[in-house]
Structure 1
């Protein structure tokens, strides 16, 4: 009779699990508790494949973050230098690769127990820089396609709007303003909270749709595919939708700051 194996001997080794088993294990051990549909079923499973090869290397999560930022420059280059539907498809592919790295940095940090608040803030900073680059690239693309310099003005105003919205976000998250310390990513974790009233459900649905629009990797592929349809300008629609949400957010958040800090009662607290 064979001797009974200990729990350590029974535990599967990386080689016994195989490649796909290891990838599944990496995904399960590095995912967030709450996440959006695109990340759960598309981006993070693919990022787990990348982490399979990165986990045994000295590459750090922050280095992956910077690599994703530099790779995003290829998205801007494709949008500007490659007119027509082909440029949108190449930009979509490069954008998804950059977002794959954006997911991989956090997953690698959780897998290696290398998470940090400054790393989360770095991720937020890079995301906003990407948004600026994307708006500027689309403005130049539309200017070149339509020979209309007004698109350059739209780009300048749009980049200023993204900067204002980012500054407002940083301001209202300050503990001096919010009354509590809001950690990076906390708002994303609270999205799972559902309202109980009819009006609350409507507002929640609108805010969820706006959040989806802000998270452009989730729908950029669809937009790029639709750009091949006749009489559909995917570049213009991206600018309308993306900047439209930023405009509403900046107006709503800015009004809240104005009402809270502009009230004479603020100094009576």
Structure 2
């Protein structure tokens, strides 16, 4: 054991809390976002304390998280007041803790696999479709405006198009190499130098944060209790807005790269 590891072990509490701290340390990712480091993954480590010696596999935990996520849609549609948003936020965070726990369990049990990473990506996109659909139905029922159902249909189509574009540009035939799910999150990406590159980096970082809705859904649910603030509508504006920008940017890149006559030379 190195000096650093020895110091870390001494600093950790003994007993159950010490074991949870060890599980968190041994199963976390090297590069991760703020919400995961300080909220989701520590809570997932508590869950793993009870799951680590069971027969549950990482993929089974992934499926459990997907089933739990259906409760988010149910709360949004059936409880169309502030309470519904708060309940949806609580269920969403529980489902996301399971989403974190599957990868942590895989690393803890040495059961990581490429197909597991692709399954995670698939389930995440299905959750995005469910969330957009649930919010559109909620807004339609609350405001009695058919346009929200049309927004929901268009939004679900947009999410599907963006997902298809992501799968396409990751193909080795297009990218020149095989890009695995989550690879961009593992790269160290500090702020670049220069005013314009830094501004673009800030915009991209903000857009990435918006796509990762578990990081801010709780704040949105709390703000939904304010008079005149429609958290459901704001979710659609922000979430679908960033998806539209991504689909436009990525689609334009594919058009420029593959549409030029020189591509066949």
Normalising by the residue count of structure 2, what TM-score does the alignment of the two structures yield? 0.94
Q: Which residue of 2 aligns with 1:121?
A: 118
Partner deviation per Cα, 1:145-196 (whole Å, 9 max, x = no partner): 0000110000000000000000000000001000112122111112524323
Partner deviation per Cα, 1:102-121 (whole Å, 9 max, x = no partner): 00000000011000010000
Which one has a bigger Cα radius of gyration? 1
Quote the Cα distance in structure 2 between the aligned partners of 1:207 and 1:191: 15
**Are positions 1:180 and 2:180 aligned together?**
no
Quote the Cα distance in structure 2 between the aligned partners of 1:193 and 1:181: 24
Quote the Cα distance in structure 2 between the aligned partners of 1:128 and 1:211: 15
Q: Which residue of 2 aligns with 1:5?
A: none
Q: Which residue of 1 aligns with 2:68?
A: 71
Partner deviation per Cα, 1:31-90 (whole Å, 9 max, x = no partner): 000000000000000000000000000100000000000110000000000011000000
Partner deviation per Cα, 1:169-228 (whole Å, 9 max, x = no partner): 000000100011212211111252432332111111100000000000000000000000
Q: Which residue of 1 aligns with 2:39?
A: 42
Q: Which residue of 2 aligns with 1:132?
A: 129
Q: CA deviation at 1:246?
A: 0.1
Query: Of the candidates 58, 81, 86, which is equivalent to residue 89 of structure 1?
Result: 86
**Are positions 1:161 and 2:158 aligned together?**
yes
Q: Which residue of 2 aligns with 1:264?
A: 261
Quote the Cα distance in structure 1 between the aligned partners of 2:250 and 2:164: 11
**Are positions 1:212 and 2:209 aligned together?**
yes
Q: CA RMSD in A?
A: 1.1
Report SS of the residue matched to 2:187.
Answer: helix
Partner deviation per Cα, 1:211-262 (whole Å, 9 max, x = no partner): 0000000000000000000000000000000000000000000000000000
After superposition, residues 222-241 of structure 1 pair within 5 angstroms as 222-241=219-238
User: Across the two proteins, how many residue pairs are aligned to each other?
Assistant: 254
Quote the Cα distance in structure 2 between the aligned partners of 1:118 and 1:46: 25
Counterpart contact for 1:34–1:192, Cα < 8 Å:
no
Query: Of the candidates 250, 253, 269, which is equivalent to residue 250 of structure 2?
Result: 253
Quote the Cα distance in structure 1 between the aligned partners of 2:183 and 2:76: 33
Quote the Cα distance in structure 2 between the aligned partners of 1:69 and 1:58: 19
Report SS of the residue matched to 1:192.
Answer: coil
Quote the Cα distance in structure 2 between the aligned partners of 1:140 and 1:183: 34
Quote the Cα distance in structure 2 between the aligned partners of 1:123 and 1:205: 27
Partner deviation per Cα, 1:3-47 (whole Å, 9 max, x = no partner): xxxxxxxxx9xxx93000000000000000000000000000000
Quote the Cα distance in structure 2 between the aligned partners of 1:29 and 1:186: 20
Normalising by the residue count of structure 1, what TM-score does the alignment of the two structures yield? 0.93
